[in-house]
Chains A and B, each alone.
Chain A
Amino acid sequence: MVSGCHSQVGQWRERFALTFALAGNPNVGKSSIFNWLTGMGVLAANYPGMTVAVNLGTTHFKGQEIGIVDLPGTYAIGAVSEDQWVARQALLESHPDAVLVVLDATRLERNLYLSLQLLDLGLPVVIALNLVDEAWRGGLEIDHHRMRRLLGVPVVPTVALRGQGLDRLVQAGVEAARMEGARSTKRRYGKDVEDAVAEIGDLLAKEGMALPHALPPRAAALLLLEEDEELLAWTGALPDGERILTKVRECAAEVGERHGEPASLRIARERHGLAGAIASQVQRLTSRPSRVQDRLWRLTTSPLSGYLLLALTVTGLFGFLFSVGNLLSDLLASLWQAYPSPAIRGFVQLAFGEGVASRTLLWAVDGGMDAALSIGIPYVLVFYFMLSLLEDTGYLNSIAFLTDPIMHRLGLHGRAAIPLIAGGGCNVPAILGLRVLTTMRERIIAGTLICLTPCSARTAVIAGAVSKYAGWKPAVSIYVITACIAFFAAWGLNRLLPGQSAGLVMEMFPLRRPSLAKMLRGTWSRFRDFLFVAAPALLVGSLVLGLIYETGLLWIFTAPLAPIVEGWLGLPSVAGLTLIFAVLRKELALQLLVALAVAKYGSGVTDLLQFMDKGQIFTYVLVNTLYIPCVATVGVLSKELGWRRALLISAFTILLALAAGGVARQVLAVWTL
């Protein structure tokens, strides 16, 4: 794959005299270290076709500015998965002066694998032994001096959450960068592997060519034995490439024959063996770890208690979302209406008079803001906070574990449950959360499912129209119908789309005590994404629709819509217009329905039942729930999946909504509510 990001990471690197890369397994506190070092000013670099981003930031140390390249959390550097590929590419392209590898002290054995791999690449490594406090609480003592001697690189114990040890970490990085010559190229594996590596390395060195990414010959030889695609392709293109590749195959076959497994697997095995040996030499169990946390965690994954806890958690979360969200919504809306709104109205009317221009502008700056404050922001903010809580405690993993069977039938796996749950609050963050899924196939299926998940705005319409005028049973049946349609849509997509779903392979972490500071940071970084994507779409959309409404252009759409709205769905034509408007924000459908009804039928028509019957209200809300989520959602959808897929999904939901609406009308004609 061509790396279009070369310029981005490469240019970043050129801006600083010193650049560090930050590497580590997922969930080891790497982002905490990154946040501590760089503050909030973060730039994300993307590789084309990849959704995993590389964060770029800067830190200051003794008057010097240091560039930090934060690699995605991975178990290894390679090409097996998207995150590994991005990590590998950014690492090699950034030519870091030092690589700070963050290790989870409680899982040293597995974590050391990545450190050894980075050492094998000949990179100057500094180890941040993180979560030492957690290890200590679990009765695990780690001799970091001994670890330093065994690995031959600096080891700095850290507690990233509290920023402990980070000054010394940066200091060690600066020192490691200075000792450029002292990069570890020593032999560490079995004789067979090392002999093969030496033989290939010598051959490469004799070629006299500069190796890609300035790799030392030993590193390149190891990568060739590990069947690294980039290195194989590079070697093949050399004038004498075929001879070298033949040698590589010979050496690999010899190792394979002696050990009864492919050379690449043999290297992985020896690396694991070494990691295990180092871990057992440096760690000591001082006391039996407390079983309470462990038992609690077991409860969250064991079948009986697990599903019960999941049901309680989801109910509790939605209860929290609606109660706190409502409270915040009322508060923000009344604050807005009390002070800024009258001021803005006054100002706009003073500047632009009372005409169409002024009223159009007010749609955006007053109406749009009002909606953002009363619908978007409160629910999204609360939702993100809950998501951070689930994430920080580690309960999200248990949710993924429990929901995997059902997700599997839809061509997804357990990790998709997380964005789907998010979709119940707001589709926008849910779609941004699709990044946890590794293939485009999974993202398309999950993206479609999310679009069909009623968000809080759609719930507001269901509650305000169906539940209010037709009772709770039809309201609940809207959810049931939507859930069935979504399930079958995903099931069908799973059958239709080529390829098959990747299986679940997910590390499970015991429950952790959440940190409020970390949760707030997580909430804010997600919320910022939402603000930058959704808010502009909302304001511009409000402006355009305000213009159509205020200039009376709106009524032009009545006639072309009539066959669908009146003929097929059996709804009054104004209802169709509001459905178009609701593309902006789903809850607008209801507010506008009343407003337009007043405009068309005269004042006094404030009760929906005066111009629609219960069946029509039901059909109307069903269509509103199913078709295109909203402008902001389509915006992020095209950002994450590409505009073509976003348009296809949107078109699909429109057809689905019309089909469901038409069927509902026919059924309701026979079977009245």
Chain B
Amino acid sequence: MPDDKGNLPLPDLQCLETVSHLAIPLDRFKPGMAGTIARIEPEDGGLLRYLAVLGLIPQARLEVAEVAPFGGPVLIRVGRAEYALGRDVASKIFVEAT
């Protein structure tokens, strides 16, 4: 909750650290699993920004609807939208399963 000045509280870095340890890459998720994005490998700024536009940012909740066989894409649900992410993209998104 924002305080009276409209600021959101600082995240507890200790806590974030723990979360990152539990997070696993999205390409290892199975259909039906859900979770919260912990971090996105920042090696590619363009990809990071593209995903951010779609709402795929740390702390966003997502649900895995389908995983295509033979190394195919992962189908995820974010809010009311669904996206297909190639495995290489999915492997850069670390998600904490809930």
B58 to chain A, nearest CB (A): 7
List, sorted by A's number, 28 A–B pairs whose CB atoms are closer than 8 Å: A76-B53, A78-B53, A109-B80, A110-B54, A110-B79, A110-B80, A190-B6, A190-B8, A191-B6, A259-B8, A260-B10, A260-B11, A261-B58, A268-B52, A268-B57, A402-B68, A402-B72, A405-B69, A406-B70, A414-B84, A414-B86, A503-B47, A505-B51, A505-B54, A505-B84, A507-B81, A507-B82, A508-B84
Q: Are A106 and B80 in contact (CB under 8 A)?
A: yes
Q: Are A503 and B71 in contact (CB under 8 A)?
A: no
Chain A 389-409, CB-CB to B under 8 Å as 1, else 0, gives 000000001001110111010
- Note all chain A residues with C-beta closer than 8 A to B13: 260
Q: Are A302 and B49 in contact (CB under 8 A)?
A: no
A483 CA to B32 CA, complexed, in Å: 37
> From B6, which residue of chain A is reached at the shortest CB distance?
A191
A29 to chain B, nearest CB (A): 16
Contacts A75-B54, A272-B57, A506-B84 hold; do A191 and B89 have CB atoms under 8 A apart? no
- Note all chain B residues with C-beta closer than 8 A to A76: 53
Tell me the chain B residues, 29-81 only, with Cβ under 8 Å from chain A: 46-55, 57-60, 65-66, 68-73, 75, 78-81
- Which of the residues B49, B52, B73 comes within 8 Å of A401, measured between beta carbons? B73
- Which of the residues A108, A258, A413 comes within 8 Å of B86, measured between beta carbons? A413
> From B78, which residue of chain A is reached at the shortest CB distance?
A110
A506 CA to B13 CA, complexed, in Å: 33
A275 to chain B, nearest CB (A): 8
Instruction: State the 3 A-B residue pairs at the shortest beta-carbon distance, nearest first.
Output: A504-B86, A503-B89, A191-B6
Q: Are A80 and B46 in contact (CB under 8 A)?
A: yes
Q: Are A400 and B16 in contact (CB under 8 A)?
A: no
Q: Are A265 and B47 in contact (CB under 8 A)?
A: no
Tell me the chain A residues, 289-320 only, with Cβ under 8 Å from chain B: 298, 301-303, 306
- Note all chain A residues with C-beta closer than 8 A to B83: 505-508
Contacts A81-B50, A190-B8, A301-B75 hold; do A505 and B69 have CB atoms under 8 A apart? no
Q: Are B55 and A404 in contact (CB under 8 A)?
A: no
- Note all chain A residues with C-beta closer than 8 A to B85: 503-505
Asked if B7 lies at the interface with its beta carbon under 8 angstroms from chain A, I say yes
A408 CA to B80 CA, complexed, in Å: 27
> From A504, which residue of chain B is reached at the shortest CB distance?
B86
- Which of the residues A78, A301, A503 comes within 8 Å of B49, measured between beta carbons? A78
Q: Are A504 and B68 in contact (CB under 8 A)?
A: no
Q: Are A504 and B11 in contact (CB under 8 A)?
A: no
Identify 13 new A-B residue pairs, CB closer than 8 A, beyond the known A259-B8, A503-B85.
Answer: A75-B53, A80-B53, A109-B79, A190-B6, A268-B57, A397-B84, A401-B72, A404-B72, A404-B73, A405-B68, A414-B86, A505-B47, A506-B83
Asked if A162 lies at the interface with its beta carbon under 8 angstroms from chain B, I say no
Tell me the chain A residues, 31-65 only, with Cβ under 8 Å from chain B: none
A191 CA to B4 CA, complexed, in Å: 10
- Note all chain B residues with C-beta closer than 8 A to A106: 80
- Note all chain A residues with C-beta closer than 8 A to B8: 190, 259
A76 CA to B52 CA, complexed, in Å: 10
- Note all chain A residues with C-beta closer than 8 A to B84: 397, 400-401, 404, 414, 504-508
- Which of the residues A81, A191, A405 comes within 8 Å of B72, measured between beta carbons? A405
